[in-house]
Every structure is written in structure tokens, then in C-alpha cells.
Structure 1
Amino acid sequence: MFGRISAIALNTYRESLRARILIGLAGVAFAVAFYSIVVGAYTLRAGARVVSDLGVASLSLFSIAVAVIIGATSLYRELEQKTIFPILARPIRRGEYLVGKYLGTLLTLAVFILADAGLVLHISAVLAGRPVALVAGVGVATLVVLGVAAWRSPLARTYGFIPWSVVFLALGVFFSSVAPTERRVVLGGSALAFLEVGIVAAWATLFSSFSTPFLSSLLTLGVFLIGRNADSLARMPVKYFGPHISAAGRALSRVVPNLQIYVPPRPLLAGEAVDANLALYLGWAVVTCVGWALGLLAVAAFVFKKRDFL
């Protein structure tokens, strides 16, 4: 079973990596990371903080966009090109196929987040005093190694980004040791961003199991917006909105995941909140993500099993 699921996941990753929209979003996300240097230059000794805060915010935003687009279109692309039929004709269950598509989407998002977080950490290291030539030279060297590997091996052209993103992040963590607070913010924010997109991608997989990409994207985006404002919806005052709208807001806040927990205030990420523990907070965030993902995938597998493709 695990071999079949991993094969589908790697194939989904390979197909997602070829999507032009993913390349475009990655380019914009990296451009925002460099733009944060310009914004930080207009602050008084807070450039590193601006880079980390803006970098984490853009990472979260663009990873959500990637999750919505890939999650809503990946399955439909297989149906439209009829490539799903020879796959399901083999000894593989529809539920395994759907789980493989979801894990492939998560793998793509993990590479995206690791690379973006690594870039933000490299920039933070430079602003904190690391030599520009050293940090930039090592970063360029990793790209050169990746390029040579891709030139020598066709397999590395696709899957080489996975180890490269891990190495790139590890180097960012090492160089940013001169800015421990910003490193903590970036790593914590990146981990929470990945957990959040894990839930969003699960919703996108559920909607795509029975709907078109356009409608799946709209529904997933709607769930995301409601989840990000769940706390506000739960506290809508009856005095201003009336009993019916207030009750509807509370109902919506209870049937969708509260995604606000994945964008905590900076003091918690920086370890400045004396009444909160980041490790415990991340633990509960993981439990919430896994619970929602398992439940949504179970429903998606049931719906997809009953779906008639003809």
C-alpha cells in the first residue's frame, strides 16, 4: 500500500513542478523576500525584523495560493487527460490514489516553504552581520551543484529540488545563528505555515473529488477566509449584526478549522511571551492539522469512491 501511495505522491510532485503557475508564484515569493530588504532599509535598526516578519507573511500567503491551485487542479487534470483510467485499472484503490495526490501536494509545498524560508534566513544572516560574499557564495554554490546534477541526471531535474531545499534551509539556519530571535520567528512561522497548508490542501482535495477546479478553488478559498476569521465570526455582536447573522457567524466558526492559530503574534514565535510555550503550541497545532487532514481525506476518499467518471 505504501509503495503505491508513494508512487502516486512522487508523480503528483513531478506534475506539479512542471506547472508554470507554481514557478511564477515561487518567483514572486522570492522577489518579496528581496524586497523586504528595501523596506527594512527605511527602518531604524530593525531591518532583520522586517525581513523575518514580511518573509513569514509572504511565505504563508503564497503557500496557501499554491495549495489551493495544485489541490484544486491536480485531480481534475488527471481526469481531463484520461490518465487516471490506466492508473486505477491497476491494483490500487481510489482512496490510496487520493491520499497519494494529497501527499504529493504536501511534498511540493514542503519544497516551496523550505526554499523560501532558507532564503529569508540567508537574508536575515546578512543583515545581522554575516559577510555578504560568504552567504551569497554558498547559496550560489548550492545552485551550481543542483544545476550540474540536473545536467548529468534527468532524475535530478525533478527530484533534486527536494534535497537542495533541505540543504539550503540548513545553511540558512547555520548562517542566521547571529540572529537567533529572527531565526526562531522564521522557523516557527514556516512550520505553522506548512501545517496550515496541510489543512487547506485537504479541503482542496475534498472539493476536487466531486467538483470542477474553478468551484473547488472558490470553496477552498472560502474555507480559508472563514478559518482565518473564525475568532471574529464567533464574537460578532448581536447589537450590531442582529441575532441571525451573529448565530450564522458562530455556526461557521465551529464547522471550519480555526486557521488563526497558525498565524500567532510575533512575541509567541520569538519566545517573548512568558505565558506561552512555543513547543507546546506547535504540538497542539500538529494535532489539529493531523485531525482535520485525516477526517477530510476520509470523507474525500468516500466521495471519490462513489464518483462515476463516465
Structure 2
Amino acid sequence: MGLVRAVALNTFREAVRDRVFYNLLLFAVLLVGASLVIGQLAAGQDVKIIKDLGLAASLLFGVGIAVFIGIQLVAREVERRSVHATLSKPVSRPTFLLGKYVGLLLTLGVNIVVMAVALFAVLAVYGALTPPGVQAIWTAPALDPRLLAALALIYVELAVVTAIALLFSTYSSALLSATFTSAIWVAGHFVGDLRAIEQVGASGATAWGAWLVSWVLPNLALFDIKAEVVHGMPVPAAQVLASVGYGIVYSAAMLSIAVAIFQRRDFK
């Protein structure tokens, strides 16, 4: 575990020094702040818009960090040939990959925390400036604790996307890895539609192929509870825990495949 921690901390420091991380984080925080202005344009829906835009910004910019930094975790090491020096030390290939993964998770954790602080700060200011009579018609308070559950599931989704990005980076170029990871992230939100394709008239090989693909792709819709949180609907704890468990299992599967591929790769 000591070697994993060393690789993870080194990866975290590299990611934090990366300009992409700062640019994405800055734009994300600005978007959360801009939601306060946008919310003023929709009477009666203002607090919902602020929450929705804040959560959406946390997800979109987090995915940007996971993809654009995640695909470089291995590719950049190989291109610089620094991977030879790292693996020549008492660092196994599984330890190297796991450390890279944990390092990026730390980076994403910092991103989520900063976004959460920015979002709650905006909501606190807005709540303080809103008359009690207006707040009485809100379906949920401005500082709704359920926002933390939504942010936690966003983080789990980012962990899954990072594992996928790391998998592709073990054998493909940075451009292709980014393309494949982004495509899977988009497709992962439509898994439910693929599983229901028989209900719209598809049959035979088409239905079977869609069913198979739907179970291979990550079901990212499980992590999306933004609508429930924004509209003040209840979110069962069992649902959140089941989604977290699914994310952990899927990420572990992707990492296992990545390790198997990385073990066979020849860097000569």
C-alpha cells in the first residue's frame, strides 16, 4: 500500500499542476456562480435552476478532468519513456496502475469538494436574500442535504469514467482513448433505452445485440438523481447504496481488465 500511496500522491501533484485541471475547475466554479444570475430570470423556479446547473456543472467538468487527464495517466508516461524508470524500481505494473487511478480519484475529490462549497455558498447567499414567503413555496430548502447524496453519486460516476479512461489508455492513443471514453459515457446514460428496445418493435439479432451491449456498458443512469434532488423528491438510502456498490464493482472490473492488458504490454 505504501507504493500505491506514493504513486497516487505523485499523480495527484502532477494533475494539480496541470493547467487543464485549473481551467476546468475555474469554469465550473464560474458556472455555479452564473447560475445565481440565471436563476433570477425564472420566477418561481430560481432555486431549482441553481441546483440543477450546479450539479450539472459538477458532473460535466468532472468528466472533462477524468477524460482529459485520465487518458494521459499511462499514455504520457509511455511517450516520455518515464514508465521504464518507474517499472524498473520495485513497483509492479498493477501497483503502478492502481496508484495512477487513486491519484486521479484524489484530484476528482478535490474538484467535487470545491464545486460543493461553491454551490452551497451560492445557495446560502440566495436563501439569505430570499423572503420567507417565497421560500415557503419551494419544494425543498436551498441548503438541501440531499444535494450531498447527488454529489456523492456524481463522484462515483466519475470514478467509473476514470477506470474506463485508464483502461483505454493502457493500449490506445490519447485521441482514441478520449473518443472511446466520451462515447461510452454518453451511451451509458441510455442503457435503460437499450434494454427496453423490444418494447418498440425490435426483435431478433437487433434486440439481442442491444440487450448484450446494455449489460456491457456502464449503467450511468443509476448515478443520476439530480431531478429528484432538484424537485425535492425522496431519495431512498438503499438506492444510493446500491448505486455506489454497482460503481465500485464496475470500476474494479475495468481496472482488472486494464491490469491484464498492461501486464502483457511490451514497452521495448
Please report the TM-score for the alignment, with normalisation by the length of structure 1: 0.78
The residue type paired with residue 263 of structure 2 is K
Identity %: 30
Equivalent position of 1:40 in the other structure? 39
Which residue matches 1:139?
Answer: none
Q: Is 2:161 aligned against 1:200?
A: yes
Change (3 A) 1:284 1:181: farther
Q: Which residue type is aligned with residue 253 of structure 2? A: G
Cα distance in 2, alignment partners of residues 13 and 130 from structure 1? 38
In the alignment, structure 1 segments of 5+ residues that lack a partner are 132-178
Q: Decide whether the 8 Å contact of 2:157 with 2:220 is kept in 1.
A: yes
- What is the letter of the counterpart of residue 253 of structure 1? S
For 1:118 and 1:245, the matched residues in 2 are separated by 46
Cα distance per residue 1:147-191 (max 9 Å; x no partner): xxxxxxxxxxxxxxxxxxxxxxxxxxxxxxxx7454324212210
How far does residue 47 in structure 1 lie from its aligned partner after superposition?
A: 2.5
2:92 pairs with 1:90: no
Task: Assess if the C-alpha contact under 8 Å between 1:182 and 1:270 holds in 2.
Answer: no
- What corresponds to 1:250 in structure 2? 211
Q: Secondary structure at the match of 2:171?
A: coil
The CA distance in 2 between the partners of 1:222 and 1:265, in whole Å, is 21
Query: In the alignment, what sits opposite 1:234?
Result: 195
User: Over residues 188-235 of structure 1, what are the superposed CA-to-partner deviations in whole Å (9 max), with x where a residue is unaligned?
Assistant: 221011000111101111111111111111111121112111011211
State the distance in 1 between where 2:228 and 2:248 align: 25
- 3-state DSSP of counterpart to 1:129: helix
> Are residues 1:186 and 2:185 paired?
no
CA contact (8 A) 1:210 1:303 kept: yes
Q: What TM-score comes out, normalization by structure 2 length?
A: 0.90
Q: Which has the higher contact order (CA 8 A, sep 6+)?
A: 2
Can you give the 5+ residue segments of structure 2 that lack an aligned partner in the other structure?
131-139
Residues 74-111 of structure 1, C-alpha deviations (whole Å, 9 max, x = no match): 21111111221111111111000000000011010000
Of 21-30 and 181-190, the range deviating more from structure 2 = 181-190
CA contact (8 A) 1:48 1:182 kept: no
Aligned position for 1:122: 121
| Alignment RMSD | 2.0
How many pairs align? 259
1:286 matched to 2:247: no
Q: 1:5 & 1:270 partners in 2: Cα distance?
A: 41
1:214 is the counterpart of 2:179: no
Q: Residue 237 of structure 1: CA displacement?
A: 4.5
1:227-284 per-residue CA deviation (whole Å, 9 max, x = no partner) reads: 11101121124756564433332221111110001112533576633xx51x222211
1:223 to 153, 175, 184: 184
Partner of 1:66: 65
> Distance between the aligned counterparts of 2:181 and 2:267, measured in 1?
22
Query: Residues of 2 paired with 1:90 and 1:21: CA distance?
Result: 30
Q: Using a 3 Å threshold, how does the CA distance of structure 1 residues 309 and 125 change in structure 2: closer, same or farther? A: same
Matched, 1:296 2:254: yes
Number of the residue aligned with 1:12: 11
